[in-house]
Amino acid sequence: MNTAVQSVGVLSFEEAYEVVRHRCDRILKAENRPSEEVLLMQGLGRVLAEPITADRDFPPFPRATRDGFAVRADDLASGLTLLRVVGQVRAGDSYDLPLASGEAVEIMTGAAVPAGADAVVMVEYTQRKTQEVDHEGTQRKEAGDRGGIGDDDNVLDIASNESPKQQEKRTEELVEIQRTVASGENVVPAGAEAQAGQELLPRGVRLRSAQIALAAAAGKASVKVYRKPKVTILSTGDELVEVAEKPGPSQIRNSNSYSLAALVAECGGEPVQLPIAPDEEGKLTELIQEGLKADMLLLSGGVSMGKFDLVEQALKALGAKFFFTGALIQPGKPVVFGEVGAVPFFGLPGNPVSVMVTFELFGRQMVEALSGAEPERMKSAKAKLKKDFKTKMGLTRFLPARLDGGLDDPEVEVVPWQGSGDMLAAARANCYLVVPPDREKLAKGEMVTVVIG
């Protein structure tokens, strides 16, 4: 262990987090990040390299938000309760005449509200009726309820069912409206969500389901996204063998390259796994140099105080600048962060849980920034602790835990574990319980913070 390197500094969790955050902000400002055009669905999880704008108003027409009758609110306000049903608009249709006073149009959710109408009365507050009128339109006799709700008949059908002898009379479709509506009720005006030409999604937004839907609605069959950052992963350790190899009695399989590759892929990077590096400086240096050809390098192992922990030394020899060489956390205290030239690297402690926790706390935001997206703040929540918990003060702990319970009563419990090497604990957990450095004991029933990966 090189003592000059060690003196760079061990930071508190918050300090270390902010240091990484600060570097992320600088990376985000980079110009000319390479981009590519991909089919919309291939854009899922990727980051927009150019804004998406509205090709027309959203919604493109005044949209009914309920099934019912499009009316003039003023008619109802002035005491009219029986309106003439002059037509029907289904979603995708239009009713092209302006609605006159005393008229209503039957309308379905999602359909265009006709001109002249300014509100929709929900079908639940209406009752369809018919009445016979003479050819001048004077009322003769009101017929009984036609059981109106959801009735698909329309004015035209009824007219065509009439016999020629009754031509001087006709049956008129009416609707009784049982409550008044405010102007604009159950209608989203054209352009209320966005107007044609307006930015729907800015550059730098990650495309998740809602953003994919918006892009689709704006007619984007393909989108311009940033190229995924290449993140090389280099596991170090003489004890390691590749997954497909048979380990000797004192060897272990290289699982960290896989947890890291999975985490990198999850947050939008392109993981590139390098061969295992031995604890020997020459070969290790060679592989680090290879790893530095990418946008970011993740190293696993070799950053503790042991005689064969050579990672920092090798990096220093390659001109690395260190931002911190440890953080007051558990697991993961020996975590290292720096840059060689413009390439950021993290030296993550090799224990399988440490590697995952330190990536979650520090590495994730860097991959996000390199993808061209503002890193998300850590997702945390409060939950009720299920059992008393004792620890030592001095370190911020992120312990594999299980969050259960309903929406209103989230409960959390630390997963029993054999320490930072216990991958099974990590696999059983669905969050990390955060224990602040000034707490020795957390009591059952206390509201505690959890971080969700």
Query: Under the rule (CB under 5 A), what is the footprint of Mg ion?
Result: 237, 301-302, 350
Q: Which does 378 bind (CB under 5 to 8 A by kind): ligand AMP, Mg ion, none?
A: none
Q: Is residue 235 within the footprint of ligand AMP (CB under 6 A)?
A: yes
Q: Which does 255 bind (CB under 5 to 8 A by kind): ligand AMP, Mg ion, none?
A: ligand AMP
Q: Is residue 395 within the footprint of ligand AMP (CB under 6 A)?
A: no
The stretch among 3-11, 153-161, 343-351, 364-372 that binds ligand AMP (CB under 6 A) is 343-351
Task: Name the burial class of residue 98, with classes exposed (0-12), middle (13-18) and buried (19+) by CB atoms within 10 angstroms of its CB.
Answer: exposed
Q: Is residue 122 within the footprint of ligand AMP (CB under 6 A)?
A: no
Q: Is residue 251 within the footprint of ligand AMP (CB under 6 A)?
A: no
* Binding letters toward ligand AMP, positions 164-183, x by CB under 6 A: --------------------
Do the strands 441-442 and 389-390 form a parallel or antiparallel pair, or are they unpaired?
antiparallel
Q: Under a CB-based contact definition with an 8 Å cutoff, are residues 433 and 414 in contact?
A: yes
Binding residues for ligand AMP, total number by CB under 6 A: 18
Q: Is residue 349 within the footprint of ligand AMP (CB under 6 A)?
A: yes
Nearer CB in complex with ligand AMP: 200/336: 336
Q: Is residue 310 within the footprint of ligand AMP (CB under 6 A)?
A: no
Nearer CB in complex with Mg ion: 148/334: 334
Q: What is the phi/psi pair of residue 221, to 5°?
A: -75, -20
Nearer CB in complex with ligand AMP: 306/436: 306
Q: Is residue 256 within the footprint of ligand AMP (CB under 6 A)?
A: yes
Q: How far is the CB of 254 from Mg ion (least distance, A)?
A: 11
Nearer CB in complex with ligand AMP: 269/350: 350
Q: Which does 188 bind (CB under 5 to 8 A by kind): ligand AMP, Mg ion, none?
A: none
Q: Which does 43 bind (CB under 5 to 8 A by kind): Mg ion, ligand AMP, none?
A: none
C-alpha closest to that of 354 among 410, 300, 298: 300
Q: How far is the CB of 350 from Mg ion (least distance, A)?
A: 5
Q: Which does 304 bind (CB under 5 to 8 A by kind): ligand AMP, Mg ion, none?
A: ligand AMP
Residue ranges in contact with ligand AMP by CB under 6 A: 235, 237, 240, 252, 254-257, 300-302, 304, 306, 349-352, 421
